[in-house]
Structure 1
Amino acid sequence: MKKLISSVILIAFLVIFGVIAREIEDNAITNLIERLDAKDAVIEELIGRVELLEKTNMKQVEINEDLERRLQQLTISTQQKDNQKNANTELETNNEWLQKKTETDTGGDENKEDTSGIAHKHKHVTLGDSISRNRRHAYTRAIAFFATATNNSEHLGNGQTIIFDNDITNVGSAYNNHQGVFIAPIDGIYVFSATLSSFPNTADHLKWVKNGQILCYLYVHSSGYDTSGSTIVVELNTGDDISIQNIDPDIKIHGGQYTFFSGFLLKETETESIVIG
């Protein structure tokens, strides 16, 4: 009987102990699950914060790029305004200088003999009216011409200017197609080229002339309708003239667009200051 009671008590104890152990295990598992859920919530919160930071950074990058574009546009606009201001100032200075020079020259140069056959009064060119403000180089005005001879030049005398009557290009209006003369409107380095066509069995001697002074010579000779070309580079002051003149008497040049004359301003040079007492 005692053994039976002891067995019953032992069994009851084991059952109670098992129940308690199971409850402890269940509580531990529940606690672990809760802790895992809490960590998952923290991780999700951190992920959300990271995504928010990435979006904020992307917006900041876009803002920085927009600010950089605006800064570049502002810089370009400022440079263009400065260049335009400098160009306007230089043009006004040149106009004032040319006006003063014109007033000075008008008093005593009109009656002087011009060895090139061109009156000095035709040399004064108004910059504001006749020169395009387009730029070939920085602060250099666009001055260029190209003219052809449509008619034959016959019975040319010694020192007679070759007339290139058809001015196809005349930017700056510095070339006079009635007189065959280019007159420099501003100080600068100029490039001139000419091609002349001869009649059969002729020999033509010509010369490049600056203000009536010989720069160099041209020679055209052929047994048929041949051509000869020439190019010069020369520095001119405002009012200087360039032309091509005949040397031998009773000479003829073939026109018909085979003979032509061209030139352009390579680079404008600085104008010397004038001190008026």
Structure 2
Amino acid sequence: MKSGTSLCFGIIISIFCFGVRIDASTKTVQDTNDFNNEKFELLLKRLDYVERRNDEMERRMEIMAADFREKEKALNDRITELEKLNNPRNSDNDNHVTNERFVNALDDSDNVTDETNGRDSVQKQTRTIRSGSRRARSVESDVAFFAAITPHDVEHLGINQNIVFDHAFTNTGNAYHNIHGIFTAPVAGTYVFCATVAGGIVRNDHDQTYYAYFDVNGQTLANFITYPYKQTTQMIIVKLQVGDDVSVRNNRVEYGILGVLYTSFSGFLLYQDVGSSVNIVGK
């Protein structure tokens, strides 16, 4: 009896354990299926997100392509307009090439004798270029000089007397007059002048100061102040008309300056007024 009971109990226990194993296996399979379902749903969501991103990128690319086409069309239209504007100018220039000519501002005149060394100087001419009704910028005339006192000192100068820089090393355009120490503007324009004055022996023991000044048509433009055996330099930039005079003048009686290349005067034409022509001023 006991054996039969034990057998039955063993069978029941076996069936229970088998049932438990079946339940555990079923639960494991169910958990695995749930996990796979979750992964599948996540993959579906990611795929949907990628598709939406791809659609958005395609729309943006279409917009950019349309914008590019519009800008390309606008650029081509602009190029066409510029070509239309440029073609008449080119044809007009071609028509005027054969008619373009140089016009001399002055008729030929006699050569002018250089005061310092008797050389003949070539008259400088201003040229203008005409093309149709338009006028180009004038070609500047050559005007430049450099002069110095040589070889002796200058003493006993009178008040407001021109300092004569007797030797002109350079006198392009012959506008500087070495006999009078005066520069006379041959053309209207803006000029640059520079002078260096070296003080000489002063007879007055109470005042060793020497004074001079730049004179432009009788007007003082810049002053010099120096002392015995010392130099001072001034530079001016001034607008002149044809025939205007520029010189360096003494400012006190009986005062002297050093020569032997210690005292000099120079100038040049910076730029010429448009339309101004060369005038050879009598010397």
Q: By percentage of residues, which structure has more helix?
A: 1
> Residues 171 and 272 of structure 1: is their aligned pair in 2 closer, same or farther, counting only changes over 3 Å?
closer
For 1:70-108, what per-residue CA distance to the aligned partner results, in whole angstroms no more than 9, with x for missing partners? xxxxx9xx99x95xx44xx2523xx69xxxxxxxxxxxx
* Contact 1:182 1:241 survives alignment (8 Å): yes
**Structure 1 residue 226: Cα displacement:** 1.4
**Structure 1 residue 205: Cα displacement:** 0.8
Are residue 245 (structure 1) and residue 249 (structure 2) matched?
yes
Gaps of 5+ in 2: 1-92, 109-120, 128-136, 203-207, 278-283
Are residue 227 (structure 1) and residue 231 (structure 2) matched?
yes
Percent same amino acid at aligned positions?
34
| TM-score normalised by length of structure 2 | 0.49
Are residue 130 (structure 1) and residue 123 (structure 2) matched?
yes
> Residues 242 and 264 of structure 1: is their aligned pair in 2 closer, same or farther, counting only changes over 3 Å?
same
Task: Output the amino acid matched with 2:144.
Answer: A
* Contact 1:133 1:142 survives alignment (8 Å): no
Aligned residue in 2 for 1:199: 200
Q: 1:212 aligns with which of 211, 218, 225?
A: 218
Aligned residue in 2 for 1:140: 140
> Residues 132 and 230 of structure 1: is their aligned pair in 2 closer, same or farther, counting only changes over 3 Å?
farther
**Structure 1 residue 162: Cα displacement:** 0.2
* Contact 2:187 2:276 survives alignment (8 Å): no
CA RMSD across the alignment: 3.2
Aligned residue in 1 for 2:77: none
**Structure 1 residue 133: Cα displacement:** 6.7
Aligned residue in 2 for 1:153: 154
Gaps of 5+ in 1: 1-74, 97-127
Task: Output the amino acid matched with 2:157.
Answer: L
Aligned residue in 2 for 1:268: 272
Aligned residue in 1 for 2:179: 178
| TM-score normalised by length of structure 1 | 0.50
Aligned residue in 2 for 1:255: 259
Structure of higher CA gyration radius: 2
How far apart, in 2, do the equivalents of 1:226 and 1:266 lie?
Answer: 29
How far apart, in 1, do the equivalents of 2:218 and 2:122 lie?
Answer: 27
In the comparison of the two structures, how many residue pairs are matched? Answer: 156
